[in-house]
Amino acid sequence: MPVASARTFRGAQAKRDMARIERRLQQLIRNIEGITPGAVLEVASTILQVAEPKVPFVTGDLFNSGYTAVTSDGKQHVSEVGFGFGGAPDYTIFVHEIIENNIEKIVNG
């Protein structure tokens, strides 16, 4: 009857330990991936809240067109924050260009 050496036993135990650690890490990664889109959306929502008071308000259409969105390819989560999704109201792009071209005056007063 062959006798297992201490080295073989430690090697087998190390493999089992590493497999257990790998399973735990994979579970942790899955947990983090599940949380990430929500966290990204929460940050995007905060950005929208900061932006809303800076939106010109005449009719409220532009203000009310604010939106957030999160897209994911499974590895990366990207947020989008904006106004006028889908082109409504139709003057959104003009307001954007006015602000874009005068950002220094707007920010610095």
3-22, pLDDT tens digit by residue?
555 566 678 888 898 999 99
In a domain, 31, yes or no: yes
In a domain, 1, yes or no: no
Q: Count the neighbouring beta carbons within 10 Å of the beta carbon of residue 14.
A: 10
- What digits encode the pLDDT tens for the residues 38-95? 899 999 999 999 999 988 888 999 999 999 999 988 778 899 999 998 888 998 888 8
In a domain, 57, yes or no: yes
Which residues lie closer than 8 Å to 51 by C-beta, 6 or more apart?
66, 81, 83
* Total domains, the chain: 1
In a domain, 95, yes or no: yes
In a domain, 29, yes or no: yes
pLDDT of residue 108: 73
User: Best-predicted range by mean pLDDT among 19-23, 29-33, 35-39?
Assistant: 19-23
For residues 103 and 57, the model is more confident at 57
Report in angstroms the alpha-carbon separations of 47 from 20, 40, 67, 68.
41, 11, 10, 9
- Domain residues for 17? 6-108
